[in-house]
Amino acid sequence: MTEPIIALIDPDKRVGTVTRVSASSIELTMPQALAASGQRGLAKGATGDFVFIDCDQETILGRITDVLVPERQRPALERQMEIDANAEPQGRAQLLATVNKSTHKVTRGINVKPRVGDGVYLADGGALATAIREALQGEIEPGKTERLLVNLGRLSGIADASIAMPPEKLFGRHCGIFGATGGGKSWTLSKLLNEIVRLRGKCILFDPTGEFAGKVSGAKEFSFSKANDDQPLARFPYRQLSEIDLYALLTPSVQMQGPNLRSAIKSLRLATALRKEPLRYAVKAMEDGSERFAVGKRGFVEVRQSGVVRKAGNSRHALSLALIELSTELDSHFCDFDVHLLSDQIKEECVKQHTNDTMGSYGTHDDFALGTCNSLNVRIENYLSSPEMRCLFSDDGVDICKEIEEFIADPIQHALVLSFEHVSFKYNTRELLLNTLGRYLLGLARQNVFQTCPLVCFLDEAHQFIGRSIGDDTNHVMLDAFGLIAKEGRKYGLTTTIATQRPRDVPSDVLSQLGTLFVHRLTNDRDRETIERACGDLDRDAAAFIPSLAQGEAIIVGPELPAPLPVLIDRPEKGQQPGSHGPRYQAFWGKS
């Protein structure tokens, strides 16, 4: 470590003396904190200032949270302000971390307790920034000459106190960005994205509003449901949907529709398996284009030319035997069948299970079952033809799964932006699509795809997607893909960064997994309380600054940080600033 140049303690910056010590804070005298008439610039010590408490070999880093004049001196203060005020202001400071005097090493926690009478000094910006930077430095990898650092900004109120973190300490335990509208949340997200690109990392942004279109340097971009300029149309292949997703969409009734839907899915998988080369059963082609597969000596299974399994009048024994013998190939939780044949296959499932004509065969069509399943078939056909669902069931656009795999394999590509701007809320399409994409990424992670290529996935407006469910009471899907990534993705090299203006709507089990938090201005009490509960380092004293944070200012909290740090995030470059402005009244109102 290089020898520190700037001393931590500067006698000229003394602000007071410790008068009381509690477990996490001190009270102190602040004789020079009074802004006397004509001498305001000479005052020392204000709320929010960082201070060093001199404890011999160690110093304690603190932050002033309160400054006040004792109540007994207040009546005379106004009369004295114009002459020579003799009030004795007092203050309170929160204890943050321990700094070694000789090495300037910052460690979490309070290793030595201050004592009454210890001196308190304003923290020098250069010394403080250097100490914090050293505490945040990661190890240099073998074969590399320098550490990779994500530049964030500078400590609030201190000039030239820049702050940077290695990516493993920033993203390694997941990350959260919270803030009310106008607090700078989107700019922080843009800053982190473009820093990853600068460091030649890998990141995927799920953009619900389209405000990041063209704002991420060198990013490959796609749009669902409708193409944009420079954003080609993409689709998610429905065969990657899970069966439970389909059930949540179709909401079949338990009595008749659910069993027939399940049976139809099995039959369509069976038709695919029977036709798969090499053929396992002898096949006979019929004049109408259908095929009959002889299964043992129990009869045959008939597959129509379209790919639908015909049941009425055919052998029930042969079908059951084929399902047993091909059970391994049919065992899947994905929709790996032709969903466009689903309604036709459901009609084939609506048959009587027995017939008096031939033992072991299905009977004729069951009109009652057909009538009961009619509403299910209508829903299926409606979804398949609906423009709102084209991002899932249409063949238009590029296969986003293939694009993601190519992006991961391409060492030149560093950012992928997926726009949900045109994806409808109708039928819960937006929530289902995003959750399915998250599940797909988690599946890749479990295959160790990201072990040598760590990926950070960013989710904006996370409150719209996390912690919700779709479907009815019988068939519902928890939108838990990003929650699972937060819980288990880290060990596979997949981490997430969620951004939201409503942290209270994010489940507590997800919040508890987030390591580094960027907390911008939050005015809602419940939101602040949620953040306090989720992060033990952010106590009530530190949280008191949150409602008054300036635009672009954030308190950064995390297990790798020595203390909660107020940081003014660097403004993104002009071409990287998200289009998150509100209505432009001045531009468009007032025209004749």
Residue appearing with tokens 């002889």: 294
- The pLDDT score that the predictor gives to residue 259 is 93
Helices assigned H by DSSP within 43-124: 74-80
Which band of pLDDT confidence, cut at 50, 70 and 90, is reported for residue 207?
very high
Whether residue 390 is predicted with pLDDT greater than 60 in this model: the reply is yes
Any residues with CB less than 8 A from the CB of 313 and at least 6 apart, and which?
A: 355, 358, 361, 362, 363, 364
Which band of pLDDT confidence, cut at 50, 70 and 90, is reported for residue 6?
low
- The pLDDT score that the predictor gives to residue 449 is 95
Tens digits of per-residue pLDDT, 551-581?
Answer: 999 999 988 888 888 999 998 888 888 877 7
Name the E strands within 369-439. 398-399, 415-419
Task: Say how far apart CA 440 and CA 438 lie, in whole Å.
Answer: 5
High-pLDDT (> 90) share of the chain, %: 53
Task: Say how far apart CA 138 and CA 310 lie, in whole Å.
Answer: 64
Bridge-based pairing of strands 203-207 and 455-459 is: parallel
Helices assigned H by DSSP within 71-161: 74-80, 125-136
Any residues with CB less than 8 A from the CB of 412 and at least 6 apart, and which?
A: none
Any residues with CB less than 8 A from the CB of 131 and at least 6 apart, and which?
A: 4, 8, 99, 104, 105, 106
- The pLDDT score that the predictor gives to residue 139 is 66
Helices assigned H by DSSP within 425-580: 429-446, 481-488, 508-511, 525-534, 540-543
Query: Which residue type occupies 251?
Result: T
- The pLDDT score that the predictor gives to residue 347 is 95
Is 252:475 a contact under the CB 8 Å cutoff? Answer: yes
Which band of pLDDT confidence, cut at 50, 70 and 90, is reported for residue 272?
very high
Domains and CATH numbers, the chain: 11-136 (2.40.30), 168-232+397-580 (3.40.50.300), 243-388 (no CATH)
Whether residue 4 is predicted with pLDDT greater than 50 in this model: the reply is no
Describe the crossing of helices 257-275 and 316-325 by its angle, rounded to 10 degrees. Answer: 70
Tens digits of per-residue pLDDT, 429-455?
Answer: 999 999 999 999 999 999 999 999 999
Q: Is the pTM of this model over 0.85?
A: yes
- Give the CA angle between residues 424, 430, 435 to the nearest 5°: 170
Task: Say how far apart CA 99 and CA 52 lie, in whole Å.
Answer: 9
Is 232:225 a contact under the CB 8 Å cutoff? Answer: no
pLDDT averaged over the chain? Answer: 88
Whether residue 539 is predicted with pLDDT greater than 80 in this model: the reply is no
Helices assigned H by DSSP within 152-209: 167-170, 185-198
- Indicate the range of 51-55, 60-64, 99-103, 233-237 predicted with least confidence: 99-103
For range 194-219, the mean pLDDT: 93
For range 462-479, the mean pLDDT: 83
- The pLDDT score that the predictor gives to residue 104 is 82
